[in-house]
Chain A
Amino acid sequence: MPELNIFVCMKVVPKSEEIRVNTETMAIIREGVRSEINPPDMNALEMALSLKDRYGGQVSLLSMGPASFEFYLRVGLSVGADRAYLLSDPQFAGADTLATTYTLAQAIIKLGGGDIILCGDESADGATGQVPAGVAEWLDIGQLSMLTNLELDLTRRVGRGRRDIKGGYEILEVPIPFVVSVQTACNEPRFIDFERKSWAFTEAQVITWNAADLEADIEYIGLRGSPTVVTGLAEAADRDRQHEYIDGTPQEIALKLAGLLEDILESV
């Protein structure tokens, strides 16, 4: 049986709490904003590494973005991934979900299709959560969404995933190959392995592919392949609140608050 080929789609995002918008240019101010691996993708990587621990195989990281993302792919290699691929081309820029999922799928096809393709459940920046389904559709394979746990039966070539649903859980089974979206915070991502780190940052190769390498149809990539257009951008306006302070000892506060609650809830 050929060894398991596991992919993790990884995005590098600006730290949400540091983001501001230039209201004149309607552009996101990225200067001075630190980046990080999209936190949910670390849960996807952890699930991939635990699959590898249990069933063997290779874990490959796949990311689309500028050359500066290479650093983060090396972080992923330090944590435990075996290979890293960076899809980098100015023509990929400005991609919406349709173009992004096409590009990722195109890379996976070029790499032989893969067995299990894992994604975080959403990205911290765009938070669309639509990438896993889109990738699965381009690859025309099954998917298991919002998983908290995944087991494989390699004899029957199926994956069995567990996910939380309203007030309970369900267990679903699909044939390999398939795409997984991993429930954020469902596991504890392992730390950087310091022995791997020196390998990851010196010897390990991050393979960079451009649109031509991917044999991508340029009608489907980047801004050109993106049907949606951002026509406005703003910082979310805070709702006006009264900001009235209630002071005193805990006892005094409790009494004032009880009176206040009575007034507020009278009409409910």
Chain B
Amino acid sequence: MASSFYGVEDQVQAIWVYLEHRDGSLENVSLEMLSEGRVLADQMGWPLVALLLGHSVENLCQDAFIYGADQVWLAEHKLLENFTIEGYTSAIYQIFLQSKPSVVFLGATHDGRDLAGRLAVRLRTGLNADCTGLRIDPDTGVLICEVSGFGGGVLALIEMQTHRPQMATVRPGVFSMRQTTSTPSKTIIRPTFTIEPEDIYTKYIERIEGDYVDLTGSTVLIAGGRGIDGDFQMLDALAQLLNGEIGATRPPVDDGYIERERQIGQTGVVCSPRLTICCGISGAFHFVVGIEKADTVIAINKDPKAPIFDHADYCIVGDVKQIVPKLIDALKTKV
């Protein structure tokens, strides 16, 4: 087997977390990885290092410390102002050859996946993708990743013996965010790296950003499937009464009834709300994986054999289009 650019002998034992940020704040998945990374770092007695790239982003270091980082490696450059795959890959590659981390986590976001995919090949190492569980063997320092495949129906444990860094992308919404109670050393390190304008060949032509809802943080989730025939207005009325958000299975998203950011499941968002009401959802497992962490699940479906009832605390066999309007009326009367 061909070896990675550095290996077990010359690795530096540490857990590194790549921080993604947007509009001047760190993304939730970055804070989730820091929180979980803190736990692992304490178990191993290793430092937790955050890696932050951008332009004028030093103010974000403070949040990294609050969520448990001992150190932040801060790579600032005008050419890193926008994420470009070539610019970011090159800078991180140079930093890793200096720092030789044993474990690296990146968020399984669009940019995180691209970056991880590139870096792993450039470093000739392996990559565990979209992990839902992370553990480090206390004796060997080997990272053991839990990943799911086949629409969430199969779980696999994957590890890497000889290649370094041990890279993993981590699924957003799986780990909870926790501010640290210890007082880390709070060191900022500014690594040297070079980057030239001609290294960057991705050009941003246009970027339109609007309001965005992040379902990973919602406490009440009203989800609709094929059985509601695109009537998300009805669900929205219910959601407003319950201070909730609306979500969807894949078919209504594909049919254009609702934004893709509200898609729940394997290829969408994994949520951990207090309550989920599944309306007209059959319960295919690539959806169910997205609500597995909900405290309480209520399911309404016409078909008594719908698999969603296997995943529900409260099961209602009936027509969602009759029950939800009556439920809305009942809730309004109570208020």
Contact = CB atoms under 8 A, between A and B. Distances in A.
B158 interface: yes
Interface in B118-166: 118, 120-122, 124-130, 144, 147-163
Contact of A170 (B128, B208, B296, B331): B208
B280 to A, nearest CB: 14
Interface string A108-129: 0000000000000010111111
A250 B318 contact: yes
Contacts of A170: 204-208
Contact of A229 (B115, B158, B169): B158
B1 A219 contact: yes
Interface in B255-271: 260-261, 266-267
Contacts of A224: 1
B58 interface: no
A101 B284 CA distance: 31
Given A244-B314, A245-B316, A229 B159 contact: yes
Interface in B30-53: none
B318 A243 contact: no
Interface string A173-187: 111000000001100
B306 to A, nearest CB: 13
A142 interface: yes
B2 A168 contact: no
B130 A129 contact: yes
A102 B122 CA distance: 11
Contact of A258 (B160, B219, B334): B334
B207 A165 contact: yes
A234 B155 CA distance: 5
Interface string A251-264: 10111011011101
B81 interface: no
A146 B122 CA distance: 21
A226 B154 contact: no
Contact of B156 (A133, A136, A233): A233
B234 interface: no
Interface in B238-258: 242, 250, 253-254
B153 A238 contact: no
Interface string B197-219: 00001111111111110100001
Contacts of A164: 260
Interface stretch (B62-70, B176-184, B321-329): B321-329
Given A227-B160, A257-B330, A268-B274, A137 B220 contact: no
Nearest to B294: A239
A25 interface: no
B120 A225 contact: no
Contact of A236 (B155, B209, B253): B155
A251 to B, nearest CB: 6
A184 B4 CA distance: 32
A28 interface: yes
Contacts of B274: 264-265, 268
A178 to B, nearest CB: 9
Given A133-B116, A234-B154, A264-B296, A220 B202 contact: no
A174 to B, nearest CB: 5
Contact of B209 (A168, A247, A258, A261): A168
Nearest to A244: B314
Contacts of B114: 132-133, 143, 145
A82 to B, nearest CB: 28
Given A171-B206, A229-B159, A244-B314, A262 B334 contact: yes
A254 B330 contact: yes
A226 B126 contact: yes
A228 B131 CA distance: 13
Interface stretch (A13-21, A63-71, A83-91): A13-21
B303 interface: no
Nearest to B4: A227
A250 B323 contact: yes
A265 B275 contact: yes
B309 interface: yes
A134 B117 contact: yes
Contacts of B327: 253-254, 257-258
12 contacts: A17-B151, A128-B130, A136-B85, A142-B201, A160-B205, A165-B110, A167-B209, A238-B311, A241-B313, A244-B315, A257-B314, A257-B330
Shortest Cβ-Cβ A-B pairs, 3 listed: A133-B117, A227-B126, A167-B212
Interface of B: 1-2, 4, 22, 85-86, 89, 108, 110, 113-118, 120-122, 124-130, 144, 147-163, 169, 201-212, 214, 219-220, 242, 250, 253-254, 260-261, 266-267, 274-275, 284-286, 289, 292, 296-298, 309-319, 322-323, 326-327, 329-331, 334
Given A142-B201, A227-B161, 10 more contacts: A19-B153, A133-B115, A134-B118, A165-B207, A165-B209, A168-B207, A254-B323, A257-B316, A264-B274, A268-B274
